[in-house]
Structure formats: structure tokens, C-alpha cells
Amino acid sequence: MDFEQNDNISQPPEPPHRPQDQPYQQPPAYPYNQNAQAKTTKGKSGWRVFWAIVLILSVLANIVLFLTVIGLATLFAVGQDAVLTEEVIREGPRAAKIAVVRLEGMIDGKQTQEVLRQLKMAREDNSVKGIILRVNSPGGTISGSDEIYHQITDKTDKPVVAFMQGLAASGGYYTSVACDKIVAEPTVITGSIGVIAGWFVIKDLLEQKLGVEPVIVKSGEKKDWPSSFRKATEQEIQYLQEKLIDPAYNRFVEIVAEGRKELLAEEEIRELADGSIYGAEEALQLKLIDKVGYLDDAIEQAKSLAGIKEAQVVQYRRPFSFSDFLQSRNESLVKIDRALLYELGRPQVLYLWSGH
């Protein structure tokens, strides 16, 4: 079959006319952009430096945080026992200060050490010219009460004023008579000059409830007097009276007689030392205290004894520590062990107003 050529079919354009004497030149390739490549490389390097700096700073921050945590943990674990902070409660010149030492709660080993620490700080501060013993305590152990008394009378050469607040009975009064003057709030309860002893008898609990029968082997008749495993006999009670109660009672009377020797004779004190408690006005009439008033009256009394007219009044506090928290947690857990049984069984001879 013959095909006729179609003139209407489009033909590709002919290349542009090139002179015969001009050689053919290859079209130039896409030009290489050196500036763009340099910018890309520079950008990547900048980010690497930035993240390296961030990493280094992060490591340093973590090291500082770790050391800080270790330091705080160490400080809290120690408990800051030797650290006391000074709190200003009355403004005045710092060169002449009156230090308030707080005796609060039952006088036990811990409370005694706290008071002694405050007294020591006040004694060693040359700017402290006088001390106020702020007492709010029902008393407590004989040894603790006597140790505070000894530290005030024999170790402290600065005037000391007792300020009774709320309750200052038995051992609380024992420590107060160590001071040069006694000021009591109008609502205070004081007195209770005397000794008390007590212990638990757990015989029926062990034998009837738990089915436990204790066996005691001793070298002498009085070795286990008194015993928590049986009721005390009249002979045992009389023995404890002579060995424990009477000596502690006589010591209490002698201490009060020494502290109030300008106002009361020992015979008068023995008449008052039957364990009775007294309000502030009655105690003043009986010459057991020197003045009924408030803290400001005690401050004025301390300044007068120190021979100064103006003073800054401060009190000491121990910052709360992590060890205090742990100790409070431990104390809230009752653990029955041999030490607890011993504490429950042994007689507690105390300068304490118990009220029960």
C-alpha cells in the first residue's frame, strides 16, 4: 500500500544554523555552588557545638545537684545537735543581751541535754549579761532536774531569773530555785515538793492472759526488790521508802532551803513539802516565789540584776532536722523487747507532779 506523505505532520525544528568554521560546544553543566555547601557544613558544626555545650552544662548541673543533696542529707542526718539559732524576741542593743533558755515538757535525758546546750551557749556569749530560765514543766527524773540545778548554781556566773509559765511543779520548781529570782505567771501551778515512785506489776497479764510464768534466780533476798512479776510486800515498800524515797525527798527539801534561805527556814519548807500544789498568789504568800508577773517583768528583773538598762532579748532554737523526723517515726512504733520490759518493770523515782 502506498502512503502519501502528509505535509501537515510537524517536523522537529532544525538546530540553529552554525557556521561551518565554528566548532560545536557542549552546553555548560549546572554550576557547582560552593557557598551553599559551606553554609550547610557550618550549620551542622554549629549545632554540634551547641548540643555539646548543653551536654556539658547538664553534666555539671547534675554534679552540683548531687553534691548539694549529699550535703543536705549529711547535715540532716547529723541532726544539727550542736547548732542553735538565735531568735530575737525583744529588740535592743546586741552588745547587751538577755538570753531566754526554755525548759518545756517532762524533764528526761533529751530535755536535760537540750537545756544544758542552751545554758552553755548563753554562758559562752560575752554579750549575754543575764539569763531567763523559762519553765513550763511538771518535772521528771531526779538526775535530770539535779543536773540542770547544778549547771545553774555552780557553772553559771551570770544572773539567772526563773520565769514560771503554765506549770512549774516538782522538778520544774526544783530547777527554778537554782535561780536568783523567781517570777510566775498569775495562772501558774507550782509546788508539788516531793518524790514519787511507781512501777508496773504484769504478773496476771503474763500468767493468766499469755500463759507465761517467769522464773527468777537471785543471789539475795532483796536483789529483785521491787519486782514486776509479783505484788510488792509491806517489807519491800518500806525498803524502797528508806533507800529511794527518803533520800530524794531530803535532797529536794535541802535544795529549796538553800534557794529560799533568806525567806524560809527548813522547818517551814518541810511543812509545805507534802506534795501540795499552789497557785501563783498562794506561792507568793508562802514565799516560794518572788513576784507574780509576765515575761516582761522577768526581763526587767534580769536587767536589774545584770546592772543594765537596755538589752536585746533572744531565745535559742534548734532547727528541725531529718533525724528528728526519723526519731519521731521510730518513737511512734511500740517495740516490745527486753529493754522496754525493763523500763516498765523497774521503779521510776521522780520529781514529778503526776496528777493521777
The end-to-end CA distance of the chain, in Å, is 139
Q: Could you give the CA distance from residue 138 to residue 41 in angstroms, rounded to a whole number? A: 82
Percent of the chain with pLDDT over 90: 56
The residues facing 131 across adjacent strands are 99, 160
289: three-class secondary structure by DSSP: coil
Higher pLDDT among residues 55 and 2, named by residue = 55
As given in the structure block, the three cell numbers for residue 121 are 551557749
Band of pLDDT at residue 60, cut at 50, 70 and 90: confident
Q: How far is CA 266 from the centre of its chain?
A: 39
CA atoms of 107 and 105, how far apart (whole Å): 6
Taking only the tens place, the pLDDT of each residue in 312-349 is 999 998 875 555 555 555 555 555 555 655 655 667 88
List the one residue out of 165, 354, 154 whose CA is nearest residue 255.
154
Whether residue 181 lies in the annotated active site: no
For residues 190-217, average pLDDT: 88
State the chain's mean pLDDT as an integer. Answer: 83
Name beta bridge partners: 130.
Answer: 98
Q: What mean pLDDT do residues 70-90 have?
A: 68
Q: Strand, helix or coil at 322?
A: helix
Q: Which amino acid is at 88?
A: V
Alpha-carbon distance of 303 to 165, in angstroms, equals 19
Q: Which of 223, 231, 243, 261 is catalytic?
A: 223
Name the one residue in this structure whose C-alpha cell is 528508806.
242
Rounded to whole angstroms, how far apart are CA atoms 268 and 265? 5
**Separation between Cα atoms, residue 287 and residue 278, nearest integer Å:** 11
Active-site option among 97, 129, 137, 170: 170
How do 160-169 and 181-184 pair as beta strands?
parallel
The yes-or-no answer on residue 10 being catalytic is no
Output the nine-digit C-alpha cell for 111.
Answer: 530535755
Q: What is the pLDDT of residue 4?
A: 46
Give the residue from 199, 99, 203, 215 showing the smallest Cα distance to 158: 99
State the pLDDT confidence band at 2, using cuts at 50, 70 and 90. Answer: very low
Kindly report whether the global pTM for this prediction surpasses the value 0.85: no
List, in sequence order, every residue forming a beta bridge with 139; answer none if it has no partner. 352
Residues 6 or more apart whose CB falls under 8 angstroms from that of 266 comprise 253, 254, 257
**Comparing 12-21, 139-148, 199-208, 234-243, which segment has the lowest mean pLDDT?**
12-21
